Every structure is written in C-alpha cells, then in structure tokens.
Amino acid sequence: MSQKIVYLDNNATTMTDPEVFEAMKPYFCDLYGNPSSMHEFGGQVAKAVEKAREQVKDFIGAKDAKEIIFTASGSEGDNMAIRGILEANKNKKHIITTKIEHPAVLNLFKYFEKQGYEVTYLSVDSKGNLDLNELSNSVTEDTAIVSLMYANNETGVILPVEKAAKIVKQKNPKTKVHVDAVQAAGKIPLDVKNTDIDLLTIAGHKIHAPKGIGALYVKTGTLLPAFVIGGHQERGKRAGTENVPYIVGLGKACEIAKNSLEYEMNEVKRLRDKLENGIIKSVYNAKVNGSTTNRVPNTTNIGFQYIEGELILLHLSDLGICASSGSACTSGSLEPSHVLKSMGVPFEALHGSIRFSLSRFTTEEEIDYVLKVLPDVIFKLNKISPYQRELKALEEAHKR
C-alpha cells in the first residue's frame, strides 16, 4: 500500500511509540536473562522489570509498586480481577456492572449470570452517563463486586468511577470495586491512591506500547487468589516467566503517557474538536452520539443518518482513512453497537455511526485532509439511500 494512512482508530489499537520500541530492543538478544536467576546477568533484567513496575505505579498513581501485576491484555486483567474476587468471596452471589461495558467484562458477567449469579446491569442515559442513584440502590449485603469502565471505548464518555466507588463502599464496605481503565489510560489523569477503587485494569496497546501486555492494579489488602498457578512470579498471582521486553515497553509507554497528558488534554482535544465541528458544520446528516462535555479528549462518535457505517468505512478506507463503526455489518454479529443502543440512539443514526479516535501522533494536516474529503464521501453515499425525503428534510433544517 503506497497510499498515506490517516490512522483515526486509536481506540482499537495504537502505533507502538518508536521510543518504546527502542527501550524494548535490548531485552531480546542481549539482555535475555531470566529475572528469577541468581546470576547478575538475570539480576539486571529483574531490575528492569521492577523499574517498569515503578513506572506503571507512577502512571496510575498507586501507593506501592507491589500493587501492580503484569498481564497479557486488558481482557486478562478484567478476568483476573472479577474471577479472582468471586473466587475469594464464594458466599456472595450478586454482581454489578453497566450495560455499556467492553465485551471483556460484559460477556464475563453474562457467563456468571448463567452460573447462577444475580447480575445488575446499570443503564445509561442518552448522553451515556451513569445514574449513581441506581448504583447506590443496587448494592446489597450480597454484592461481591462492582465493575465499571472508566471511559467508554465507543463514545469516549467518562464514568464517575471515583464517586461511584465511594458510594459502593458507603453501602457495603466489603464490596470490591474494579475499574476497567483501558480506554481512559493515557487520555485523562489516573490517580488511584486516595480512592475507594480496589482493582484497575490497563492495556499497553492502547497507550503506544505493543499488543500482548497490560497491568492490573490490586490495592494492598485486597484478597485475590492466583490466576495462573505455578511459580512465584508476580507474587504468585500470575505464574510464568515474565514477558520482559514487553513489560519494559509498557513501563516506558506509561512514563511517556504520563508526560503527554497535558498534550492529550489540550492539543489532541483541539484536533478532535476541529474534526468534530468541521464534520457537523459541513455534513447535514451528521450528529454526535453521546456527551460532548464529559469525554476523553481523543474520541468522537458521529452518526451519519440514513446511510450505513460499513459502507462509509469502506469508502474512507479507499482514501487511506482508518476509523471504526458501531454498525451491525462491521461486527459480523448482525447486532449493532450495544453501547449506542443502550443510550437510545435512533436506528437511522445507529447503523451509520462512525468512531474517530485520535492520538498524540495525529497531525493537523491529517485532520484537514479528512475534513476535505469526508463530506463528498457522505454526499455520494446519501445519493444511494432510499431515504431521500428524510435526507432532504435534514438538509433543509441544516441550512436554517
């Protein structure tokens, strides 16, 4: 492919930062020792792993590096946290989550529902916001865990997890709170230490580390059984020789992400807003899905009414633009986005919803390019739609 790629799908995955890649390189062919070995050759590798643990600790604002367990992915972190808490609290049979979670949490809850657990799925309003009263009313003596996402992957809407954790503890101090922070990490500041959050999951590949590495924060004093039984690695909670190069990479990525937060929250946000406003202004059948105020700075979810999302993506892809869609056709599951459906997004915008997610590597030129070519793509596709009358009405309303 010779065409230049404009990558606006950073909530799916990110480019590994070349600086991160550089930091990882020595740990393949030179510093390949086992961190558990007695010799100095392995010992220096153990030090690199511990440095990375410190970097992750600083990034999420934990008190102690011992609270960090390295995992292979966000899904693994979610599983380790939720399964572990349920195993440690076998007498409790009620669990709480939201309707808009990532499948890594949602499908796990559905699994436990089949196993006989009582599950509360909290709703969201049309902006994607949680009702904290509903949460408060749901927590009982029997609630083992509440798992909430920090930011939604499709809309970028931020949930008030710190407040929510406090509410949970007020109702039942023994109920554990897990936060899936995979989409919040690197976009907004994380600081777990003075909160009621017991467990928090992050994934490396969303913050410019490679795929295949993540971390779970487990607050000191939280009883969590081993997820992988075997050796003593990760304090016996996840046995297996450490994935050293990737752990080093995650550490470096966390360090850079922490230092880039200012840029994310100002410059990335500026470009995201420019893209969003530009599209809304020039395309009459475009509408933002979800809250525009309470969002991570890199994400916008736009519903193009009366045309279908996969078709838009295919045409954008031909122009080198990468985005994603909540349309049914892109998933192969026949069902459109459960997140947008939970928010009550109407069908005419649901099937044509496109998510653009930027990163600190996104440039002004790229946004200008998208703003230049996208309207024509949409207008071309509008001509194919059988809903000409409805489109005409939107066009008229837009002019006014």
Partner 1 sequence: MWDYTDKVMDHYKNPRNVGEIENPSAIGEAGSLVCGDALKLYLKVDDNGIITDAKFQTFGCGSAVASSSVLTEMLKGMTIDEASKITNQQIADALGGLPPQKMHCSVMGHEALESAIANYKGEDAAAHCDEKIICTCYHVTESALREAVEQNNLTDLEDVMNYTKAGGACGQCHIAIQKIIDEIKNKKEKVDIKNMSTTQLVLKINNVIEKHIASELRKDGGDIELVDVKDNKVFVSLKGMCKSCKFSSNTLKNFVEASLKEHISPDIEVVEV
Beta carbon of residue 389, minimum distance to partner 1 (angstroms, whole number): 11
Residues 161, 174: Cα–Cα separation, whole Å: 17
> How many amino acids of this chain bind partner 1 (CB under 8 A)?
28
Q: Which of residues 242-271 bind partner 1 (CB under 8 A)?
A: none
Asked if 12 is part of the footprint of partner 1 (rule: CB under 8 A), the reply reads: no
Of the pair 129, 330, the CB lying nearest partner 1 is at 330
Of the pair 170, 388, the CB lying nearest partner 1 is at 388
Residues 120, 216: Cα–Cα separation, whole Å: 24
Backbone angles phi, psi at 97, to 5 degrees: -150, -170
* CA trace torsion 24, 64, 229, 72 (10° rounding): -40
Asked if 194 is part of the footprint of partner 1 (rule: CB under 8 A), the reply reads: no
Residues 262, 258: Cα–Cα separation, whole Å: 9
DSSP β-bridge partners for residue 98: 122
Asked if 206 is part of the footprint of partner 1 (rule: CB under 8 A), the reply reads: no
Asked if 3 is part of the footprint of partner 1 (rule: CB under 8 A), the reply reads: no
Q: Which of residues 349-378 bind partner 1 (CB under 8 A)?
A: 350-351
- By CB under 8 A, name the one of 4, 388, 393, 395 that touches partner 1: 388
Beta carbon of residue 328, minimum distance to partner 1 (angstroms, whole number): 5
Beta carbon of residue 335, minimum distance to partner 1 (angstroms, whole number): 6
Asked if 327 is part of the footprint of partner 1 (rule: CB under 8 A), the reply reads: yes
* Interface map 328-347 toward partner 1 (x if CB under 8 A): xxx-xxxxx----------x
Of the pair 84, 336, the CB lying nearest partner 1 is at 336
Asked if 50 is part of the footprint of partner 1 (rule: CB under 8 A), the reply reads: no
Spot the catalytic one: 29, 254, 322, 329: 329
Asked if 311 is part of the footprint of partner 1 (rule: CB under 8 A), the reply reads: yes
Q: CB under 8 Å to 110, separation ≥6 — which residues?
A: 119
* CA trace torsion 336, 341, 347, 351 (10° rounding): -30
Signed CA dihedral, 190, 192, 193, 199: sign only? negative
29 is catalytic: no
* Interface map 22-41 toward partner 1 (x if CB under 8 A): --------------------
Closest CA to 304 of 352, 339, 343, 357: 352
Residues 66, 37: Cα–Cα separation, whole Å: 20
Residues making contact with partner 1 (CB under 8 A): 306-311, 314-315, 318, 327-330, 332-336, 347-348, 350-351, 383-388
Active site residues per annotation: 329
